[in-house]
Structure 1
Amino acid sequence: MKKTALLTALTLASLTAISGASAQGSALSGTVTVWSWDVAAKALQSTIPSFNAKYPNVKVNVVDLGNQNTYDRGLAGCAAGGADLPDVYSIENNEAEVFWARFPDCFTDLNTLGADKIAAQFPAFKWTELMAGGKRYAMPWDSGPVVIFYRRDLYQQAGVNPTAIKTWDDFIAAGKKVNAKFGGSVKMGAVGNGQDDEWFRMLANQNGCFYFDNSATQVTVAKSGCVQALDTVKKLYANNVVMTSDWGGQITAFKANKLASAMFGAWYEGTIRTNAPDQKGKWGVYPMPASKAGGVRAANLGGSALALPASSKNKEAAYAFIQNALATTGGQVAMLKGEGLVPSLLSAAKDPYVAQPQAYWGNQKVWQTILDTLGDVPQARGTQYFQDARQVMIVVQADYIKGKYKTAQDALNDAAKKISSATGLPVAK
């Protein structure tokens, strides 16, 4: 083909594609109702302008029901055969499998709308809890890649170099320096011991272990990676480098300059920034320490997804909204900028905004540091029994810290038996 003919053909093909996209945009109409909560609802609202630029005849109505109410009304709607559910439903990853297990027909298999073709654009760990029987019941939204948030000034005063902290033993050594400098009044971290087991879950996840295996058929909490995680939590206490605190107490502590570090999913960035605006420039971020030299320095804590109820009368428009918000860099980055929701979409890590220095964080490119860990996060399956297992582990962890069990293995053997009894799943050999 001659060059001029080739260019003409390409131009015609481009015009056809553009007119096709425009036709699809104009063909979709009606209203899409979205249920969500708090900052998540605000984040979704920020994607509406870009959605309406593509689909001007679709009205999007984001309803902020609050977190618990969204969950409760979702369960009630599914139990009633899909009655009164919205077109798009926000769901937390660790609660998602309750729906797939109890109400497998309540939500649309997004593969039927093309989700299977874009699955590779998200990290594998984000799909783990959103699939059942080969069906994709929800699309990944935000994620919670785990990092250490640290006070630059407190570290510096104690002679701690964050770049030298590569393992948990390094973290403990740094905590001893912080203790020495501040007479024990400042701690290296805060653990919700007796309130939650999130430190155990983060450490277990980085070690490739969780309450259950990824096929959701066995209780695996007594496996070696989990044993090492619980042992590390005990070592942090044995070396007196952490305090025990609930959610609110930890915020009070870092506002009062009593905490040199905090470990959470990256969504905690907004918690620190909004609660301690006067500490602007004093905070930084580094990857979580590994269990051993050269080990994995990544885990995930939290995150949500968007599902499409099977009862929706406007499925194509609802899926178009989900895809625009979650499967485009523009949609994900808009929510990162506005509400600090960390994207799951891998291409979002390459957006120019991610590489920008953030003033609050001492002009560090924190989003680059955070998102660079996404591809290293091991998969973990919460299953429909996540809350049952969590309640067992909260008690077992606290009892182990108190000395009720001789070893972490003993503690987790007991936890495994209790979780098995509560769920009916066998303990892995």
Structure 2
Amino acid sequence: MSALALAAMLAACSSGGGSTTSSGTSPKLTNCTNKIVNKSAPEVSVWAWYPNMAKVVDNFNNGHKDVQVCWTNVGQGGDEYTKFQTGISAGKGLPDVVMLEADHLAGYEIQNALVDISKLGADKVKSNFSAGAWKDVSQGSAVYAAPVDGGPMALIYRTDVFQKYGITTPPATWDEYAADAAKVKAAGGPMFGDLGANVPANLMALQIQKGAVPYKYDLKDPKKLTVNLADQASKDVLDYWAGLVKKGLVGTQDQFTTDYISGVVGGKYATYTSAAWAPGYLTGAGVGKGDSKGVWAVAPLPQWDAANPVSVNWGGSAFAVTTQATDKKLAAEVALGLYADPDSLADGWKNQVIFPLNQGVLKSADFINNKSEFFNGQTANKDVYIPAENAYKGFVYAPITVYYYAQLQAETVKINAGKISGSDAATELQANIVKYAKSQGFTVTE
């Protein structure tokens, strides 16, 4: 993103933003992937990539006479974001409602691309979500998306490896994690985990768990940004993982790759530090079958300070209303109601598509007592994921997340290659991000 582009964004923010009321009659749409059930109803266009989106849209359309969803999958994650940014820059071509990951919201809020839906129904459903889930989609009293799924983090581990090498209980602290890793290596066992450079959001979450506050940002003053990436907590976490890599206790394979999954299936790694959506991803990738079936369990994420546990999150998506929406009030009804009905939520969690953030699900007996097939009958929701979600306090994301993640990834590559210490990587990252933020027009506080 160029400095000129950011200057234009900041000017747009300062001008007061877009209207949050109905701005016209919803047109009939022609590029819907799904079937329109009530053809006389106004239509709201939606971009989303959830795997079960077709069923979710059908559930919504069958249950509504006042509005219908016209859904299109224009790509997942980065592919969608590229098209979304193109539409923002062009001033046209955006859908009424768009699926976005929570850590990307600020980058679009500052461009005046998203509508504050707090007075369009969002405030009425706030109690359906944890404080952390709500903070992730909010800026002060403004709300820029309806939460759907999240990623409370935990430690997935192989029970067969733990049993073979005499680890009777999963590590409760990161010190215990390192000690267990050394024990397994000394006995000729596999690597204990993996520091994949291509999952910077994971690493950022672990730094926040230690007490780091990478950014301070408030959309009310969009030109100001506090950057704090080289504090002691951030350095400590990077040094910790750099030490594990140097000792050969963890791998350095990029995650979500064929090689990584092959290693997971083959027992190359004893643990996987990940989020509540991981079982679905692993199952879809072929983990939990053959020799890797029935060997998985999950435990709470190890803590930096066992006396002061901190819950953190990796991933999660929400539905936002775009400022190009023809009828913003109707679009907000869709954003808040889509993937919020009991049938869609049940289909999502039972098929491991999402980890729902709706408290109606999190407090339901079916969800609480569900025996996970992937985790060999363990009540993972009750034991690990629900407590982690309810304890999560939320993050503050910066409007330069994409660039930040790219630079954190680059520093992790150097750590994994033994070219730099964790502390020095943090120092480099701080200088790089501060320079970039200033070049984009921000007034930066360190």
* Length-normalised TM-score, structure 1: 0.82
CA distance in 2, matches of 1:173, 1:133: 42
2:435 partner letter:
S
Spell out, residue by residue over 1:270-313, the C-alpha distance to the aligned partner (whole angstroms, 9 max, x if none): 12222223233211111110012223252111111111123333
* 1:11-22 matched pairs, under 5 angstroms: none
For the aligned residues, what is the CA RMSD?
2.7
The alpha-carbon deviation at position 318 of structure 1 amounts to 3.2
Query: Percent of pairs identical after alignment?
Result: 24
2:41 partner letter:
S
1:192 partner letter:
G
Spell out, residue by residue over 1:168-188, the C-alpha distance to the aligned partner (whole angstroms, 9 max, x if none): 11111221232234x14x111
Q: 1:236 to 1:290 in 2, by over 3 A?
A: same
Q: 1:196 to 1:62 in 2, by over 3 A?
A: same
The alpha-carbon deviation at position 50 of structure 1 amounts to 4.2
Aligned to 2:131: 124
Q: Which runs of 5+ in 2 are unaligned?
A: 1-37, 219-223
Spell out, residue by residue over 1:183-214, the C-alpha distance to the aligned partner (whole angstroms, 9 max, x if none): 14x11111114x44344312112123243125
Q: 1:188 to 1:317 in 2, by over 3 A?
A: same
Aligned to 2:87: 77
CA distance in 1, matches of 2:300, 2:128: 23
Spell out, residue by residue over 1:100-153, the C-alpha distance to the aligned partner (whole angstroms, 9 max, x if none): 112x1x332211212123224323333445334642221112111111111111
Secondary structure in 2 aligned to 1:177?
A: helix
CA distance in 1, matches of 2:328, 2:444: 41
1:93 partner letter:
A
Q: Is the 8 A contact 1:43 1:335 kept in 2?
A: yes
Aligned to 2:45: 33
**Of 43, 50, 53, which aligns to 1:44?**
53
Aligned to 1:191: 195
Aligned to 1:140: 147
CA distance in 2, matches of 1:232, 1:295: 19
* Length-normalised TM-score, structure 2: 0.80
* 1:25-424 matched pairs, under 5 angstroms: 29-37=41-49, 40=50, 42-52=51-61, 54-56=63-65, 58-67=67-76, 68-81=78-91, 83-102=92-111, 104=112, 106-132=113-139, 134-163=141-170, 165-181=171-187, 183-184=188-189, 186-193=190-197, 195-215=198-218, 217-247=225-255, 248=257, 249-274=259-284, 275-276=286-287, 277-278=289-290, 279-327=292-340, 330-354=343-367, 355-368=369-382, 369-400=384-415, 408=423, 410-424=424-438
CA distance in 2, matches of 1:361, 1:406: 36
CA distance in 1, matches of 2:211, 2:445: 15
Spell out, residue by residue over 1:68-116, the C-alpha distance to the aligned partner (whole angstroms, 9 max, x if none): 33212222222233x23222211122222221112x1x33221121212
2:263 partner letter:
A
Q: Is the 8 A contact 1:172 1:239 kept in 2?
A: no
Q: 1:151 to 1:133 in 2, by over 3 A?
A: closer
Q: Is the 8 A contact 1:417 1:427 kept in 2?
A: no
Q: Is the 8 A contact 2:57 2:71 kept in 1?
A: no
Q: Is the 8 A contact 1:190 1:244 kept in 2?
A: yes
Q: Name the one with the larger helix percent.
A: 1
Q: 1:32 to 1:378 in 2, by over 3 A?
A: same
CA distance in 2, matches of 1:79, 1:427: 25
Q: Is the 8 A contact 2:155 2:271 kept in 1?
A: yes
Q: Is the 8 A contact 1:144 1:302 kept in 2?
A: yes
Aligned to 2:27: none
The alpha-carbon deviation at position 61 of structure 1 amounts to 2.8
Q: Is the 8 A contact 2:191 2:268 kept in 1?
A: yes
Q: Is the 8 A contact 2:227 2:444 kept in 1?
A: yes
CA distance in 2, matches of 1:374, 1:309: 28
CA distance in 2, matches of 1:146, 1:417: 29
Q: Is the 8 A contact 2:225 2:444 kept in 1?
A: no
Q: Is the 8 A contact 2:215 2:225 kept in 1?
A: yes
CA distance in 1, matches of 2:353, 2:239: 33
Secondary structure in 1 aligned to 2:150?
A: strand
Q: 1:297 to 1:156 in 2, by over 3 A?
A: farther
CA distance in 1, matches of 2:418, 2:445: 25
1:76 partner letter:
T
CA distance in 2, matches of 1:199, 1:90: 21
CA distance in 2, matches of 1:117, 1:292: 37
Q: 1:124 to 1:225 in 2, by over 3 A?
A: farther
CA distance in 1, matches of 2:121, 2:283: 38
CA distance in 1, matches of 2:295, 2:159: 5
Q: Which runs of 5+ in 1 are unaligned?
A: 1-25
CA distance in 2, matches of 1:208, 1:32: 42
Q: 1:128 to 1:180 in 2, by over 3 A?
A: same
1:125 partner letter:
G
1:219 partner letter:
V
The alpha-carbon deviation at position 381 of structure 1 amounts to 2.2
Q: Is the 8 A contact 1:93 1:130 kept in 2?
A: yes
